[in-house]
Amino acid sequence: MRLTVLNGPNLNLIGEREPEIYGSATLADVEADCRAFADRIGASLSFHQSNHEGVLVDLIQDARVSADALIINPAGYSFTSIAMLDAMKVFKGPVVELHISNIHARDEHHRHSKLSSAAKAVICGVGPYGYILAMQAAAHLLGRSPLHAHAPAASR
């Protein structure tokens, strides 16, 4: 099982940036936890961050051939990027959209993600642990849940 985790703009600064919203873990801490969890569930992990929309579009396109599931925290591009939405729609496997904060409880600029319509699942408000939940969700949606509890729902 091949998982790709993509991080959008300013997520390279978590740990330093608005810690009351995003917590004290750095993106390197998050990546280390994701790698440890990937090992535990027998997944390979590709983990990236970019501040540039076009780079993120390229990475989403690359995931078509390199990943079985895509986990994406689009950060500020959640609210603006039709280009990322279009790229996500081409990805055939499950897409899990993730936000560290609960975007629904935030100000008007951070409330409505344009990208959610291309996601199979959306996780938000759990803090950096949301990355682990998103990996679990992706494994489950691929029928590879470590818990074998339920079969995934058939349609997006």
Q: Residues interacting with ligand DHK, by CB under 6 A?
A: 10, 73, 75-76, 78, 99-101, 103, 110
**Minimum gap (Å) between residue 44 Cβ and ligand DHK:** 24
The answer to whether 134 and 100 are in contact (CB under 8 A) is no
**Minimum gap (Å) between residue 8 Cβ and ligand DHK:** 7
- The active-site residue out of 22, 77, 131, 140 is 22
Q: Which is nearer to ligand DHK, 10 or 136 (CB)?
A: 10
Q: Which is nearer to ligand DHK, 94 or 130 (CB)?
A: 130
Examine the residue annotation and report whether 131 is marked as an active-site residue of this protein.
no
Cα distances (angstroms) measured from residue 21 to each of 18, 45, 46, 53, 95? 6, 26, 26, 23, 24
**Minimum gap (Å) between residue 48 Cβ and ligand DHK:** 15
Examine the residue annotation and report whether 129 is marked as an active-site residue of this protein.
no
- The active-site residue out of 48, 52, 99, 140 is 99
**Which of 111, 77, 68, 72 is CA-nearest to residue 88?**
72
Q: Which is nearer to ligand DHK, 18 or 39 (CB)?
A: 18
The answer to whether 4 and 43 are in contact (CB under 8 A) is no
Sheet strands (E) in 19-115: 44-49, 69-73, 95-99
Whole-angstrom Cα distance, residue 18 to residue 112?
Answer: 20
**What's the first-to-final CA gap in the chain, in angstroms?**
19
**Minimum gap (Å) between residue 106 Cβ and ligand DHK:** 6
Q: Which is nearer to ligand DHK, 49 or 73 (CB)?
A: 73
Catalytic residues: 22, 99
